[in-house]
Amino acid sequence: MKIIPLSEGTFTIDKTKLFVPFDEDVHDLQQRPVGSLLVEIQPFVIITSKDILLLDTGLGFVCKDSFGEKEGRLQIHRNLTDAGINPSDITKVLLTHLHKDHAGGVSFGTNHEELSFPNALFYLQEKELSSAFEKGFPSFITGELEKLKKSKQVVLLKDDEGTIDDYIHYKITAAHSPYHQVFWIKENDKTIFFGGDDAPQLQQMKHRFVAKYDHDGKKAMELRRTWWEQGQQEKWTFLFYHDVKNPVKEF
């Protein structure tokens, strides 16, 4: 399996929950708003013998009309093209949860009337979708998710745990958010683990840490410990969505 990280860069986020692009070369770390966090965003492509998988879809930001860039083009579309992949080549989109930094790229257009990957099936938890519409802004942008409610391309998973096409295993953890799911992708004796926001950064795997932003921070911490131990024994490859510097850790 081939793994391609699609970094969307680094952002600051504060209590307004707005993601603001952060450029280390231009901005001064000291100058960022008080209480703000630095967050890196990075979906992944995995090329398997059966599929071109996309794991989460990024912020859904559009490119600025500069340097000849076509205005209105999704950042994830540009990043895919740069990696030699046409967005229409994606066969499956696996969504851990629908927070706006993970699901922003599912749709595009003035009214988000198009799913961003025309030939893909989108796999998400049914309960996560209803919960996103109950909670709404600022953690979820329902306008971007509307299309997921009524498309033949969407597979709403009803079980807490299961398998897609015999090689992708999913499981609800209820740690970072109540219906957050994680994925194991297995082919030719290799296991790729994608823990989404339950396992967002390499550092968090190595140190015990309860995050305030989690639904059940203690559970997330325990899960990370279990996965880290099991992953080392079973030689998993970990993918870290919020770690641009350490996107992939292979054992």
Q: Cβ of residue 102: shortest distance to Zn ion, in angstroms?
A: 6
Task: Answer yes or no whether residue 242 interacts with Zn ion by CB under 5 A.
Answer: no
Of 6-14, 33-41, 143-151, 197-205, the window that binds Zn ion (rule: CB under 5 A) is 197-205
Cα–Cα distance measured from residue 69 to residue 26, given in angstroms and rounded to the nearest whole number:
21
**Interface size with Zn ion, residues (CB under 5 A):** 2
Of 57-65, 94-102, 124-132, 156-164, the window that binds Zn ion (rule: CB under 5 A) is 94-102
For residue 194, how far is the Cα from the chain centroid?
9
| Contact between 115 and 151 (Cβ < 8 Å) | yes
Query: Judged by CB, which is closer to Zn ion: 87, or 180?
Result: 180
Cα–Cα distance measured from residue 36 to residue 27, given in angstroms and rounded to the nearest whole number:
14
| Contact between 181 and 173 (Cβ < 8 Å) | yes
Residue window 142-181: x/- pattern of binding to Zn ion, with contact defined by CB under 5 A = ----------------------------------------
Secondary structure in 3-state letters for 217-247: HHHHHHHHHHHHHHHHHCCEEEECCCCCCCC
Query: Judged by CB, which is closer to Zn ion: 175, or 205?
Result: 175
Please select the residue that binds Zn ion; options are 8, 58, 80, 99, rule is CB under 5 A.
99
| Contact between 97 and 200 (Cβ < 8 Å) | no
Of 52-60, 83-91, 109-117, 193-201, the window that binds Zn ion (rule: CB under 5 A) is 193-201
Query: Judged by CB, which is closer to Zn ion: 77, or 99?
Result: 99
| Contact between 90 and 117 (Cβ < 8 Å) | yes
Task: Answer yes or no whether residue 197 interacts with Zn ion by CB under 5 A.
Answer: yes
Site of interaction with Zn ion (CB under 5 A): 99, 197
